Structure 1
Amino acid sequence: MDKICLTLPTNRACADTIEAVGREAAHAAHHFGVEVHLLVLDSADRPAFTRHARAVHTAGLAPGVVAHHLDEAGQRAFLRAAIDRAGLAGPERMLALMLPPAVSYGACTNRAFLIAAALGCRSVHRRDSDSRYQEQNGEPVFPIGQELAFLGRKAADAAGSVTEVLLAAEHTDRTVAMVGGSFVGVPSVDLTDLQQRAPDVHREVIGLWAPAAWSEQERERLVDESFKGAGTEPFTHDRTVLGPVDPMRVDMCNIAFHHEVHERIPLPPATDTIGSDYFLFHLLYHAGLPGVLHNRHIVNFHTDERKTGAGFTAYQTRYAKFLLSMLPFRFLHERMAQEGGALLDGLHRLRAEAVSGLVRESTALDDEENVHRLDTLTRSYRTLGGAYARTAESLHRQGPRLLAEARADMEDFAHLIDAWEPLVHAARTTPLHGKGRP
């Protein structure tokens, strides 16, 4: 029986979401005959963790579902064992990249990738704590149905089952590496207050993630579609498209990767930033690996902790770091587009050494563009007063450190890519300590 990993990383109270993901796990096990390993990686406080434990336990009672609920201590024990087994130089640095003390969307998903390898899963299906499922006729619309229908199939075999094929003929012998959808509802990046308070400032701030060389018209088009997912139109019927999947049309709350993807290349482990976990979307797109885009979009919502006080400043700092990360990532997107099929080996598998080489190239970029981004952001926020002005002063003080971190994040990423193959190999034979009750 095939094993799959349905994972939810969280650092906040989300028992209702865990219950809903548990129902998706049960649906997959019942309808597709797979063993679903429901993996909740939990960094929430103890009261929330206790509520989560009850939800995970209940989910694991469904036939065909094996539930795992790991706090950071349990995750750390597994990682230490896998890192030691891999015999990697600098084990403490590797542990810090896999389980940093700060928030890292890439690192939490990398942990799920490694644990999935330990569990023998052929795919990883990722969901988020701040989302829920759409419904049709009173029933939830689970993305996992589309993910399991297509993931890992030869594109030529999947072509007859999709709504539309946009794949080059020479790529039909390749495996469907990713299946994903987007979200509906509020934008994925929570700048709603800024948009309501100062629309012009909002557009300027959103536009900062465009390449510096873009025209004003190109920048405006990017602003108009940024962070909006699939809009607000509710689900009515299935639509699937086989081809290279536009990274702007999928989201990490609604994605599944074949193991040949995430066992070869990890996600950037950058901390206190948003958007770093989207790297694989761009890599697969430029390498020419097929994907299926579906319309079983998940409903996104915003939680309150990022809207006031320290939470507001922390979230705005993450957005600032996202803007600074665009300098190396835009460079990488351009270089990956140039490399194209050279990012794959003769068996159409991702070449880790090619990717890490490009990442290292990005560390030599001049910071001038990022200095301008940071100056523009702080100037824009100062004009608004209040919490925005305080955030601007904080960003100004931290400016040199933030600029240095944007470069160091890519150095760390290249280091992790180079270590990833032996780490995954070691994880496959490392027992998962502290796993939850099945």
Structure 2
Amino acid sequence: MRRVCLTLPTDRACAATVRAVAEEAAHGARHFDIEVHLLILDSSGAADLAAHREAVAALPPEPGVVVHHFDEDEQRDFLRGAVARSGVAAPDRVLDLMLPSGVSYGACTNRAFLIAEALGCASVHRRDSDSRYQYLDGKPVLPIHHELTAIGRRAADVAGLVSRSRLDPALADRPVAMVGGSFVGEMSVDVAEIRALDPLVHDDLVGLSVPAGYPEIWRRNLVDEAFRGAGTAAFTGDLTTLTTVAPTRVDMCNIAFAREVYGRVPLPPATDTIGSDYFLVHLVHGARLPGVLHNRHIVNFHTLERRSDAGFLAYQLRLTKFLLAAPHLQAVHAKAAAGDGPLDADGLVRASVVAAAIRDGAGPDPAEDAERFDVVERSYRKLGGRYAAAADVLAARRERLLDEVRRDMADFALLVDAWGSLARASEGHPPSPAHEGRSPSAARETPPPSPKGTA
């Protein structure tokens, strides 16, 4: 029986989300010939971790669902074994990149990727702890249904299962590599207040995320749409599109990747950098791999912690690092898509091309990085109040932050080089779960799941 991994990384209280995502896992197992491994990767403090363990223990058994809940000690034990078996160079550094002491949006998902390999899964479906499902007629609107309908299947076979197709016919024989939707509700990045305080400052800051050289009309549209997701309209019915999915149309709280993508290239493990976990979304798009875009958007909200003074400052630091890292990552995507492109003769992502693009040094020079930092600091000072206070903190850390961005790229190249060995070393060595719904019963199979019913 085919296995898939539905993962929920968390570092905060989210017992209600655990229960909701478990319902989504049960839906997947009921409607498709699959075994769903619900993987909760928990970096929470002791009290929240205990509450999550209680929530997991209280989940009703569901046929076809296996629940795994790992704290950081359990994750580290698994990673140590995988690193040791892999024989990679700099094993201690690789372990640190997989489980860093700071917040890393990429690293937590990379851990899910490796554990999915260990569990024999064919795809990874990611949700976030600060999100909720929409409802229609009293029932939750679950993205996993569209994900399992399409992920891994030949695009030509999916064309009749979606609302519409906008895919180049030349790509019809390629498998669907990614399925995703976006979010509704609050913006994913806290720039609404900046826009309200000073629209020009907002445009200057958000404009740093747009690749250089874009025509002004495109740039304006990207700035206007950045971080807004799918707006606020409520779900009224399904709309699915077979296409090469634009990265701006999906969110990492609502995404599924085939293992032919994440099994070959990881996400950047940069710490304190929002948006670093979107690397594979851009890679799939640049490689012209088929995807499905759906409108089962997840409801986004901001936690109370993010609204606190400490949470605000931490988030501005992460936003700053994202704006500094953006041109480096954009240069990697451009370089990887050049020449023969990132795919081999079998249509699989070539990790060597990605690693070479990272090491190519095609990103901005240090002077350009410094100019971008100046724009961020100057913008925050214009806003005044707590933004001016954040500018003081940024200024004090200026050289360190600029250096971190370049080190992050070198670390990413190191991890890409090690990734194939880590993935192979993980296969067949699953960690021991803290809680199971039932034991795994079959190895990974290559045929994609087939629908048994409708949502």
TM-score by length of 2: 0.93
1:151 counterpart letter in structure 2: I
In structure 2, what is the equivalent of residue 238 of structure 1? 238
1-side partners of 2:118 and 2:356: how far apart?
28
How far residue 218 of structure 1 moved from its aligned partner, in angstroms, is 3.9
Please tell me whether the aligned partners of residues 88 and 419 of structure 1 are also in contact (alpha carbons under 8 angstroms).
Answer: yes
Residues 25 and 364 of structure 1: is their aligned pair in 2 closer, same or farther, counting only changes over 3 Å?
closer
Is 1:17 paired with 2:17?
Answer: yes
CA distance in 2, matches of 1:60, 1:263: 32
Aligned length: 437
Q: Any stretches of 5+ residues in structure 1 without a counterpart? A: none
Asked if the contact 1:60/1:66 (under 8 Å) is kept, the reply is no
Instruction: Return the offset for 1:195.
Output: 2.8
Counterpart residue number, 2:354: 355
Q: CA 1:176–1:213 in 2, change beyond 3 Å: closer, same or farther?
A: closer
CA contact (8 A) 1:363 1:407 kept: no
Distance 1:26 1:120, change over 3 A: same
Q: Is contact 1:344–1:350 with CA below 8 Å preserved after alignment?
A: yes
Contact 2:176–2:291 (CA<8 Å) still a contact in 1? yes
Aligned-residue offset at 1:136: 0.5
Structure 1 counterpart of 2:150, one-letter code: F
Q: For each residue in 1:181-205, what CA deviation from the matched residue of structure 2 results, as whole angstroms up to 9, or x when unmatched? A: 1111111102233233333322322
CA distance in 2, matches of 1:315, 1:94: 26
Of 107-116 and 180-189, deviating more is 180-189
Q: Distance in 2 between matches of 1:95 and 1:52?
A: 25
Deviation track 1:50-97 (CA, whole Å, cap 9, x = no partner) reads: 111122223362222111111100000000011001111211101000
CA distance in 2, matches of 1:385, 1:104: 29
Name the Cα RMSD after superposition. Answer: 1.5
Q: In structure 1, the residue corresponding to 2:372 is in which secondary structure? A: helix
The structural deviation recorded for 1:217 is 4.2
Distance 2:173 2:387 in 1: 52
> C-alpha separation between the residues in 2 aligned to 1:170 and 1:364?
32
1:182 equivalent to 2:182? Answer yes
Report the Cα offset of residue 338 of structure 1: 2.6
Give the Cα separation in 1 of the matches to 2:34 and 2:55: 21
- Give 3-state SS (helix, strand or coil) of 1:343's partner: coil
Q: Choose 194-203 or 243-252, whichever is displaced more.
A: 194-203
Q: Which amino acid aligns with 2:178?
A: M
Gaps of 5+ in 2: 438-455
**2:398: which partner in 1?**
399
The whole-number CA distance in structure 2 between the counterparts of 1:276 and 1:19 is 28
**CA distance in structure 1 between the aligned counterparts of 2:230 and 2:108, rounded to whole angstroms:** 25
CA displacement, residues 101-154 of structure 1 (integer Å, 9 cap, x when unaligned)? 000000000000000001011110000111110111010000000000011111
Off by >6 Å, runs of 4+ in structure 1:
none
2:129 maps to: 129
Q: CA deviation at 1:259?
A: 1.1
Q: CA deviation at 1:434?
A: 4.7
Contact 2:120–2:428 (CA<8 Å) still a contact in 1? no
Query: Distance between the aligned counterparts of 1:269 and 1:123, measured in 2?
Result: 20
Asked if 1:324 corresponds to 2:324, the answer is: yes
**Larger RCO, structures 1/2 (Cα 8 Å, 6+ apart):** 2
Do structure 1's residue 370 and structure 2's residue 404 form an aligned pair? Answer: no
Q: Is the contact between residue 245 and residue 290 of structure 1 (CA under 8 Å) also seen in structure 2?
A: yes
Partner of 2:295: 295
Q: Label 1:80 to 1:246 Cα distance change in 2 as closer, same or farther (>3 A).
A: same
Q: Helix, strand or coil for the counterpart of 2:305?
A: helix
The reply to whether residue 211 of structure 1 matches residue 211 of structure 2 is: yes
Aligned to 1:62: 62
User: Aligned pair 1:308/2:297, yes or no?
Assistant: no
Q: SS where residue 362 of structure 1 aligns?
A: coil
Partner Cα separation in structure 1 for residue 384 and residue 200 of structure 2: 15
Residues 208 and 373, structure 1, Cα contact 8 Å, conserved in 2:
yes
Q: Which residue of 1 aligns with 2:343?
A: 344
SS of alignment partner, residue 193 of structure 1 = helix
Q: Deviations over 1:240-280 (max 9, x none)?
A: 11121111111100000111111011001000010010011
Aligned to 1:194: 194
What whole-Å deviation, never above 9, does each CA across 1:207-243 have from its counterpart, x for those lacking one? Answer: 2222344455443222111001111111111111112
Matched with 2:445 is: none
Distance 1:371 1:60 in 2: 54
Match of 2:407 in 1: 408
Tell which deviates more after alignment, 87-96 or 97-106.
87-96
**Which shifted more, 391-400 or 98-107?**
391-400
Which whole-Å CA distance do the structure 1 matches of 2:285 and 2:89 have between them? 32
Rate the CA distance shift 1:34–1:282 in 2: closer, same or farther, 3 A.
same
1:76-115 equivalences under 5 Å are 76-115=76-115
Structure 2: distance between partners of 1:364 and 1:33:
45
